[in-house]
Amino acid sequence: MWPDDAGLKRVHEQLSSLPPLVFAGEARRLTSALGDAAEGHAFLLQAGDCAESFTDFTADGIRDKLRVILQMAVVLTYGAGVPVVKLGRIAGQFAKPRSSPTEMVGAEVLDSFRGHMVNDDLPERAARVPDPDRLITAYHQSVSTLNLLRAFTKGGFADLAQVHAWNQEFVASSSEGRRFDAIAKGIDRALRFMGACGIDLAREDSLHEVDFWTSHEALILDYEEALTRRDSLTGDWYDCSAHMLWVGERTRQIDGAHCEFLSGIHNPVGSKVGPSATPDDVVALCQRLNPERVPGRVSLITRFGADHVETSLPPLLRAVREEGHPVVWVCDPMHGNTINAEGGRKTRRFDDILTEIKGFFQAHAQEGTWPGGVHVELTGDDVTECLGGMEDIVEDQLHQRYTTACDPRLNARQSLDLAFRVAEFLRD
Ligand code: PEP
Ligand code: CO
């Protein structure tokens, strides 16, 4: 892929000598938290951009995305009645698999954009040439993103009372929001109940700080390998570019390079699972990635589409359960529901997203398995990329604020709307 072999070698050496972004002990703690989700005692919220961008990169953008995820997590915690594991698609999500190596721009055929870690999205031939120096830029942007996330989540920004106040604002801000009043009031009462029991809310660390983990698709193995280090404590290998890594729908072949890489690291890992996956494929994938059957080691992120989830998911749930593999079942309601709007813009309907999640919960209820989490593409910005939701964005509005570097994301209000609705399913 890289036209410049010598450049790639130089970059690989440089990345290999740079400090890790995360350390092995953190990855082990995440495996343990995900183990709870595999066993029905926790719920995973994995969320962030489809593709992070080198050009759209600001402190406010990071803050607003984190804020939405924290707000969703509080609502989901209340709905699920179990801890919510907060995992960003962030601080490394810079590479995109593409269905086609080229795309038409006007009358010209250009190489596809592969994410800012590889090339640029400008509609020009020169911009699309892969440049290994982008791996270094991706590393530094990930470092500064993670630094801010750590500061926010341990420095007071994640305070439960504050996050709850933001949610109350959301509920009060529109007539549609007020339909969630019962949940917001329930959270309010729970907080007052704790206070009444003598718990000093102001002094309880767990109410002011949260663990926030990072993840991305392990697509560019040159980057991932350069950041893979041996843990001095255990002697095991960890990919220190993020806490959790996954393989995408296009690279999940069990004898392929990407699964080979994931099988060799000790981080928690995941795989997307789309409509072409058979029960045998999925069991083989579990065996390949988790022969020791460690709970929390593997998450299976299913993305079938609203019309297929109810028929396609149950056979997989059954097969994995019968083989005794502990996995976190995660619903990605985004990637099976992408459509082309008039004018060619990719979009997704809020209602399809919700329908897939509903089908996911139904399939688990039917099979007696635990719906372990959701995986969504979102931003804290007020974009117009997905259709519907409480402001009912329509096709004619998509062009207004369509800024994604790849797939269409839920905006902040659509994300909260979704979280409240999922909380209702969980509670029921
Ligand atoms: C993605 O998560 O952005 C993606 C490309 O997903 P999938 O591999 O499921 O198509
Ligand atoms: Co995407």
Cβ of 50 below 6 Å from ligand 1:
yes
Question: For residues 352, 86, 153 and 78, what is the CA-based torsion angle, rounded to 10 degrees?
Answer: 80
Instruction: Identify which of 137, 139, 151 has the alpha carbon closest to the alpha carbon of residue 63.
Output: 151
Express each pLDDT in 37-85 by its tens digit.
999 999 999 999 999 999 999 999 999 999 999 999 999 999 999 999 9
Distance 409 CA to ligand 2 centre (A): 8
Average pLDDT on 133-145 reads 98
Band (pLDDT 50/70/90 cuts) for residue 202 is: confident
> Which mutation among 94, 96, 100, 217 tests ligand 1's pocket best, with the greatest number of atoms within 8 A of CB?
217
Band (pLDDT 50/70/90 cuts) for residue 188 is: very high
Measured at the CA of 338, the angle between CA 71 and CA 104, to 5 degrees, comes to 125
Cβ of 272 below 6 Å from ligand 1:
yes
> Does position 228 have pLDDT exceeding 90, yes or no?
yes
Residue 272: nearest ligand to its CA? 1
Residue type, 198: G
Distance 178 CA to ligand 2 centre (A): 31
Express each pLDDT in 162-180 by its tens digit.
999 999 999 999 888 898 9
Is-contact 405 52, C-beta < 8 A? yes
DSSP tag of 124: S
Q: Which two tokens stand for residue 65?
A: 């995305």
> Which mutation among 250, 258, 348, 378 tests ligand 1's pocket best, with the greatest number of atoms within 8 A of CB?
250
CA dist., res. 233 & res. 231, Å (int): 5
Instruction: Identify which of 236, 239, 238, 245 has the alpha carbon closest to the alpha carbon of residue 214.
Output: 245
Entry pTM:
0.98
Residue type, 223: Y
To the nearest 10 degrees (0 to 180), the angle between helices 412-427 and 59-80 is 10
Average pLDDT on 246-255 reads 98
Average pLDDT on 133-159 reads 97
Instruction: Identify which of 156, 56, 75 has the alpha carbon closest to the alpha carbon of residue 415.
Output: 75
Is-contact 61 381, C-beta < 8 A? yes
Express each pLDDT in 318-329 by its tens digit.
999 999 999 999
Atom 2 in ligand 1: which residue has the minimum CA distance? 50
Atom 1 in ligand 1: which residue has the minimum CA distance? 50
**Length of the chain (residues):** 428
CA dist., res. 334 & res. 352, Å (int): 9
